[in-house]
Structure 1
Amino acid sequence: MNSLKYCRSLLALPVAALVLLTACKKDFLDQKTLSAVDEGAVFRDSVKTLGVINNLYSNIGFSFNARRVNNTGLDAACDESEPISDPTIFSYIISNGGVNASNADKNTWTTVFTMVRAANIFMKNRDSIPITAATRDYWTAQVRFLRAWYLMMLVKHYGGIPLIGDNIYDDGDKIDVPRSSYEACVSYIVGELDAAAAALPASYPTNNVNQNRVSKGTALAAKARLLLYAASPLFNSGPRADDPDHLLSYATADNERWKNASDAAKAVINLNVYSLYTTSATPMYTFFLQNTPQTEHVLAYWQPVSTSNNFYVENSANPQSRGTTNGYVGAKYFPTQELVDEFDMINGLRITDPASGYPGMGDNMYKNRDPRLTTTVHYNGSIRNMGTLGDQPVNTYTGVVPTGNAAATSASVDGIYSATGTKTGYFRYKMCNNFGVGGGSELYRPWVVMRYAEVLLNAAEATNEYYGPTSEIYDWLKLIRARAGIQAGTNGLYGLKAGMTKDEMRDAIRHERRVELAFEEHRFWDIRRWKIAPQTENAETHGMEITRAANGTFSYRIIPIRKHVFTDAMYFWPIPQSEIVKSPSLVQNPGY
C-alpha cells in the first residue's frame, strides 16, 4: 500500500483508537485492535471528531523522539553523542556513511503521510461536525497547523516532497505524484502556517485542558524555524548542478530570505506571551520535568493519562546503576568529548581561552563550568540520586573498583569499558529525572518540541546574517546565558565579546545553539543546513578515559571513539526505495 494512502482505515476506528493511535512509535503508546466505525459517524459526533484531532497531535514529537531509531535519537547520528557499537542500528549506519535507499528508515515518510491523510479527511468532513462556526474554525486551524508541521518534518529530511493538498487517496487509486520544488514546498507550508496563525488564539491558559493545544505563537514559531532553514546555506546558495528541478534548494540565492526569517522570529517575540523558564533550582533539570505548561513552552505534548510509563529518555540514556525498565540493559548512546568541550567556564569564556581559568584536564576540569554542563551531561563524579542510598557520584572510570555497597562499586556497571557502561566516559542527563526509573511523578512530563530559547536563537541567527551584530542579538544571547547561570562579569556581557564582527557573532550563536539546544534534535540538522558537516562529521569522535588506581587517585586520557563518514548525498535522506517503486514519478535524491 502506498504511504500516501497509508492507514486508510485510520478514521474507521472508534474514538478510543483515534485518541490513542500513534503510528510507528511502539515505545510510546500500545496499539489495540478495535471494531470499525463508519467515517461519517465519526464526523457526526463532535467527541469522536475531537479524538481525530487528538490523534493528529500524537506524533508531533516523532522526529524529536530520543528513542526514534533503535532506542537512539538523531543526536547519536552526528557529533553530539555516540551510539553503542552496533553497526545494524540506523543512527550508527547514518554516521558510518552507509545509508542508502534500501536500508533507510522509512517511518518518517510513512508517519507523515499517515497524519496528512488524517488531516485531509478532517478537512473533507469539517462542515459535517455538529459544532458552532467559531469552534469549527478553531479546530480547522489546529488541523492546518498540524498538517503543515508534519510536512515541515518531511521537507527537513528529503527536500521537496509530493504536495497533495487536500487530496485523499484510496486503495483503488493510482498514485504517482511527482515531488514539488523546495521553493513550492516552503511557500505552501508558510501559507498554511499563516492561515492557522490568523485563526488561533495568541496563547492558552496554563491548565491541563489546553496543554496540548497549539496557538498563534506556535504557528508563527514553526514558520520562523522553516524560514531560518530556508535562508541557510544548504538551501539558499543558488542552483545545484545535480538538482535541475530545484528539489533541494532555491533556483537563486537571495539574502532577503534571512530578513524574512528574522522578521518571523521577531513576530513571535513581539507577541509577549513567552518567556524563559527560571527557577532557583538548576534550570535545565527542572524545566523538562515540569508536568504543567510553562511560559517557555511553544509546542509541547503530554502523553495521555493512560500511558503506562514515560521513561522514554531514561530507558536509553540512564547509567545502569540508576535503573531501567522493560528489559533495557545499559544506555544506548553517550555524549561525546566534542560536546562536553563546548561548555564554557562559569565566567562565560571558552575553555580554550587562557583567560577563562580552565585548569586543564584533571580532577578539577568539570568544576566552575557553565551550569548547563551538569544538567546536560553526567561525568565522573556527577551527583545523582541512587534510591535508598541517596545522592551518590556517577562513576564512569575504569581501573581498580573498590569494594562496598552498590554506590561504591557502580563503576563495574557504569564505567567505561564495562559491558553496560559508558562508551565515551559520559552519560546524557538532560531531560532525565534524578531518581532513576520508577517514580510515578514522571508520568505526565511533556515532549518540549519547540521552546522560547530556540525562538531567541533563531532570531539571533537570522538577524545577524542580514543586519550583522545588533544590540538586540546581544540582549537575546544575554537572556539565555543569564538564565543558564553564567556570571555577568564586570561588563554585563556574560562572557560575550564586545564589538563582535558578523563572523564572530555567527560563531557565538552557533556555539550557543550547540550548548543550549543539546539533545533536542537541532545539532543533526544545524550542521547540515550550515553545510559544515564535511568538517564535523568526517572526523573522529572522542571520549574521556579515567583510570582509578588502587590508592583512589585518577589519571585522565582523551581517547578516540570512532571515525564518522559524511558524503554530500547525506545532506538529505534517500526516499525509501519502496516508495520509488510504487510512484515512478518520484525522483530520488542525488547520490542514492
Structure 2
Amino acid sequence: MKRHKIYWNLLFAGLGAVICSTTACKKDFLDQKTLSAIDEAAVFQDSTRSLGVINNLYSNLGISFNPRRFNNTGLDAACDESEPIGDPTIYTYKISSGGINANNADGGLWRTVFQMVRASNIFLKNKAGIPVSDATKDYWTGQVRFLRAWYLFTLLKHYGGIPLIGDKIFDGNEKIDVARSSYDACIKYLTSELDAAAADLPLSYRPGDVNQLKVTKGTALAVKARMLLYAASPLFNSGPRADDPEHLLTFPAADPERWKQASDAAKAVINLGVYSLYTSSATPLYTLFLQNTPQEEHILVYWQPWTTSNNFYIEASSNPPSRGGMNGWAGSRYFPTQELVDEFDMVTGLRITDPASGYPGIGNDMYKNRDPRLTYTVHYNGAIRSMGSFGDQPVNTYTGIIPPGNAAVTSASVDGIYTSTGTLTGYFRYKMCNGGGGELYRPWVVMRYAEILLNAAEATNEYFGPTSEVYNWLKMIRSRAGIIAGENSLYGLKAGMTKAEMREAIRHERRVELAFEEHRFWDVRRWKIAPQTENAETHGMEITRAANGSFSYRIIPVRRHVFTEAMYFWPIPQSELTKSPALKQTPGY
C-alpha cells in the first residue's frame, strides 16, 4: 500500500522551523502537496487523519536521548561517561573539547522542537471540529499538550530560557521576532501545561489496549517531577548571574522551597501506585531494555519504527567489531571510561575505595564480585558476549601477544586496545545491547521508575535530609540490582548519613543505575560539578598479554576534556539569531 504524506509549509523562519511531515499510522493520508487552508480543514474533519497528526508528534520524542544523535554517538560521549573515537569532527568530541560556538552549533534540536510546537498548535486550533466524542477529544488534547511541553522542556535543558509562543501560529507573511522568556516564566508555563495534560490523560491502559504505547497521567507528572528537580538544582537555583540580567539561565533568587516542590512532584508519581521496578528476570537490568511490550517500570518510552534498521540501532555504534561485523556494522564509536567503571561497587554495596570492601585492586580479579550492574552496563576483558556461530565467548580487549586460533580466539586483533578498530579505553558498552547477537526490536526507555525514586530521594534529602524514605528508595534500587543486603539490610549504605553524605550516595547511585540513559551529561551541569568532572582527563585500562598467557594491567590517560563556564548551556545557532534578532545569545558565547 502506498503511503502518502501531508506537508505542513512551516513558514516559521524566525524560530528556525522548516518543512516537516505528518504520516498516518496505517492509513493512506493525502497526496503529497503543500497543505492549503482547505486541506487543513479536511484533515481535521477526518478522525483518522487527525489521529495521524498526533501520532507524528511522537516521532521525535527521543531526539535528545538518541544514542546515535551525533555521528553515531549520544551525549554520554560528551562527558566523562564514555569516550568517542578520536575524530575531532564528531560533535560530541567538539563538545567535550570546548569547541562549540554559535557558528558551528548543531541546530537540529531547535528546528525540530519548533516544528513539533507548530504542528501541536495547528491541532489545538482545529480540535473543536474533529468528529469524535468530547472524551476522545480531551484525551487527544492531553497527548498533544504533553508532547508540546516535552519538546519545550527538552529545549529548555539545553539553552535555558526559550521563546514561549503559547498557542500562536504565525502566518506565512508574518515577521517572527520573538525574544527568549526568563527561565522562571518557562518553568511556570511548562508546569501548567504538564498539569493540564495530566488531567486529560488516563492513569493507565489495559494490556492489549490499542493506545497502550501512548503517554499517561503518570508520564506527564513524571516529566514535571524531573523538570522541577532540575529547576531546584544549583545551576538554576543559586541566585542571579551578573551576565544574565534577564534571568534567562537562573531564577531571580535562590529558594530552598523548590526542593520541596520537586520532592512533592516525584512523590506524586510514586503515590499513583501504577509503577514498580522491573523484576521479571534473574537479570532485570539487562532484560528490562530488551522488552518489546510495556513494562511496569516504563514511564516514557519511544517506540521507534519496527524496521530492521532500528533493530540493531544501539549495537551499530557500541558493539565490539568482532560482534558488530557479523551484523554488517563497522564497530564501536564510543567507549566507557575507567571513571565510570570505578563507580561500580562490590556486590556488598561498598565502594571499591573502601578498605573493608574486599576489592583486590587492579589485576586478574578486579571485575569479580562487583555490583552486577557492571557486567550489564560495560563489557571488559573476559566478559562473556555472544559471537554468532561461536556462541558465548570472552570479549578480548587486550594488547600484546595474540594466540593463534579461530576468530573467537583472535578477536583481540580487531577489538583490542591500540588496534585501528578496537576500544580506546579497554571497554565496550553493553547496556541496552542484545547479547544474543541477533536483531531484536525494542524501544528506547526514555524515563523509568528507578529515575523517579532517585529524583524523589535527591529532592527529599536536599529539603528534609536523609529520611527513612530516602534510605528506602535507595535500598529498593540496590536490592533489585543484586547488591547483598548485609546484616543491617542497608545494602552497603552507611547508617546515619549526614545530608552531604547522602547527597554523594544519591549522585553515585544515579551514575551507576542510570548510565547511558542521558543523565550524566545533564546531572554534572545542574549540580555545577562539571568543572571538576569535565575539565579532566578520561582514562582507560591497558591490559597486555604475555606469550605465556598472563596479563599485566595499567590505567592509562585517554584524552583531556575542556569545560568552561559558558558550557553549562548551549549556544543558539547563529542562523537562528540572524532570522530573529530579538533572540539573545546565551551568555558566554
Whether the TM-score (by the shorter chain) exceeds 0.5 is: yes
Match of 1:459 among 456, 466, 469: 456
- Rounded to whole Å, the distance in 1 between the matches of 2:156 and 2:28 is 26
* Equivalent residue, structure 1, for 2:60: 59
- Rounded to whole Å, the distance in 2 between the matches of 1:254 and 1:324 is 53
SS at match of 1:544: strand
Q: Does the 8 Å contact 2:401/2:547 carry over to 1?
A: yes
Structure 2 unmatched runs, 5+: 1-10
Structure 1 residues 469 and 140, CA gap change in structure 2 (3 angstroms): same
Q: Does the 8 Å contact 1:141/1:195 carry over to 2?
A: yes
* Equivalent residue, structure 2, for 1:547: 544
Match of 1:510 among 502, 507, 514: 507
* Equivalent residue, structure 2, for 1:28: none
- Rounded to whole Å, the distance in 2 between the matches of 1:316 and 1:210 is 32
* Equivalent residue, structure 1, for 2:581: 584
* Equivalent residue, structure 1, for 2:339: 338
Does residue 301 in structure 1 map to residue 302 in structure 2? yes
Mapping of residues 131-146 of structure 1, within 5 Å = 131-146=132-147
- Rounded to whole Å, the distance in 1 between the matches of 2:60 and 2:550 is 48
SS at match of 1:323: helix
* Equivalent residue, structure 2, for 1:500: 497
- Rounded to whole Å, the distance in 1 between the matches of 2:369 and 2:263 is 34
- Rounded to whole Å, the distance in 2 between the matches of 1:448 and 1:41 is 35
Mapping of residues 261-272 of structure 1, within 5 Å = 261-272=262-273
Q: Does the 8 Å contact 1:5/1:171 carry over to 2?
A: no
* Equivalent residue, structure 2, for 1:446: 443
Does residue 424 in structure 1 map to residue 425 in structure 2? yes
Q: Does the 8 Å contact 1:265/1:458 carry over to 2?
A: yes
Q: CA deviation at 1:521?
A: 0.4
Does residue 157 in structure 1 map to residue 158 in structure 2? yes
Listed one character per residue, the Cα deviations across residues 158-203 of structure 1 (whole Å, up to 9, x for unaligned) are 0000001001123322110000000000000000000011111111
* Equivalent residue, structure 2, for 1:29: none
Q: Does the 8 Å contact 2:378/2:431 carry over to 1?
A: yes
Structure 1 residues 333 and 360, CA gap change in structure 2 (3 angstroms): same
Mapping of residues 7-22 of structure 1, within 5 Å = 10=20, 15=24
Does residue 523 in structure 1 map to residue 524 in structure 2? no
Q: In structure 2, give the amino acid aligned to 1:536.
A: T
Q: Does the 8 Å contact 2:16/2:579 carry over to 1?
A: no
Structure 1 residues 181 and 6, CA gap change in structure 2 (3 angstroms): closer
Mapping of residues 156-555 of structure 1, within 5 Å = 156-207=157-208, 209-306=210-307, 308-324=309-325, 328-436=329-437, 438-439=438-439, 442-443=440-441, 445-555=442-552
Of 465-474 and 105-114, more deviation after overlay is shown by 105-114
Listed one character per residue, the Cα deviations across residues 48-89 of structure 1 (whole Å, up to 9, x for unaligned) are 111111111111111000000111000000000000000011
SS at match of 2:544: strand
Q: Does the 8 Å contact 1:396/1:426 carry over to 2?
A: yes
Structure 1 residues 9 and 98, CA gap change in structure 2 (3 angstroms): closer
Q: CA deviation at 1:309?
A: 3.3
Q: Does the 8 Å contact 2:14/2:579 carry over to 1?
A: no
- Rounded to whole Å, the distance in 2 between the matches of 1:327 and 1:107 is 28
Q: Does the 8 Å contact 2:260/2:460 carry over to 1?
A: yes
- Rounded to whole Å, the distance in 2 between the matches of 1:422 and 1:19 is 46
- Rounded to whole Å, the distance in 1 between the matches of 2:479 and 2:25 is 45
- Rounded to whole Å, the distance in 1 between the matches of 2:26 and 2:533 is 43
* Equivalent residue, structure 1, for 2:8: none
Listed one character per residue, the Cα deviations across residues 132-154 of structure 1 (whole Å, up to 9, x for unaligned) are 00000000001000000000000
SS at match of 1:186: helix
Q: CA deviation at 1:328?
A: 3.7
Structure 1 residues 41 and 2, CA gap change in structure 2 (3 angstroms): closer
* Equivalent residue, structure 1, for 2:5: none
Q: CA deviation at 1:41?
A: 1.6
Does residue 567 in structure 1 map to residue 576 in structure 2? no
SS at match of 2:219: helix
- Rounded to whole Å, the distance in 1 between the matches of 2:359 and 2:51 is 55
Q: Does the 8 Å contact 2:14/2:580 carry over to 1?
A: no
Listed one character per residue, the Cα deviations across residues 283-331 of structure 1 (whole Å, up to 9, x for unaligned) are 2110000111000000112123356432221000000111258864120
Listed one character per residue, the Cα deviations across residues 191-247 of structure 1 (whole Å, up to 9, x for unaligned) are 000001111111122336223211111000000000000000000000100000000
- Rounded to whole Å, the distance in 2 between the matches of 1:19 and 1:589 is 44
TM-score scaled to structure 2, two decimals? Answer: 0.95
Structure 1 residues 59 and 253, CA gap change in structure 2 (3 angstroms): same
- Rounded to whole Å, the distance in 1 between the matches of 2:320 and 2:31 is 36
Structure 1 residues 234 and 14, CA gap change in structure 2 (3 angstroms): closer
Structure 1 residues 17 and 106, CA gap change in structure 2 (3 angstroms): farther
Q: CA deviation at 1:9?
A: 5.3
- Rounded to whole Å, the distance in 1 between the matches of 2:422 and 2:206 is 43
Structure 1 residues 324 and 39, CA gap change in structure 2 (3 angstroms): farther
- Rounded to whole Å, the distance in 1 between the matches of 2:355 and 2:15 is 59
Q: CA deviation at 1:419?
A: 1.1
- Rounded to whole Å, the distance in 2 between the matches of 1:19 and 1:175 is 34
Q: In structure 2, give the amino acid aligned to 1:348.
A: G
Of 282-291 and 326-335, more deviation after overlay is shown by 326-335
Q: In structure 2, give the amino acid aligned to 1:71.
A: N
SS at match of 2:539: strand
Q: Does the 8 Å contact 2:16/2:110 carry over to 1?
A: no
Q: Does the 8 Å contact 1:14/1:35 carry over to 2?
A: no
Mapping of residues 23-102 of structure 1, within 5 Å = 34-35=32-33, 38-102=39-103
- Rounded to whole Å, the distance in 1 between the matches of 2:254 and 2:15 is 36
Mapping of residues 122-133 of structure 1, within 5 Å = 122-133=123-134
Listed one character per residue, the Cα deviations across residues 445-481 of structure 1 (whole Å, up to 9, x for unaligned) are 1111000000000000000000000000000000000
SS at match of 2:242: coil
Listed one character per residue, the Cα deviations across residues 394-433 of structure 1 (whole Å, up to 9, x for unaligned) are 0000111111111000000100011110000000000000
Give the root-mean-square deviation of aligned CA atoms. 1.8
- Rounded to whole Å, the distance in 2 between the matches of 1:3 and 1:325 is 45
Q: Does the 8 Å contact 2:17/2:112 carry over to 1?
A: no
Q: Does the 8 Å contact 1:383/1:392 carry over to 2?
A: yes
- Rounded to whole Å, the distance in 2 between the matches of 1:591 and 1:525 is 18
- Rounded to whole Å, the distance in 1 between the matches of 2:326 and 2:407 is 18
Q: Does the 8 Å contact 1:349/1:356 carry over to 2?
A: yes
SS at match of 1:356: coil
Q: Does the 8 Å contact 2:142/2:196 carry over to 1?
A: yes
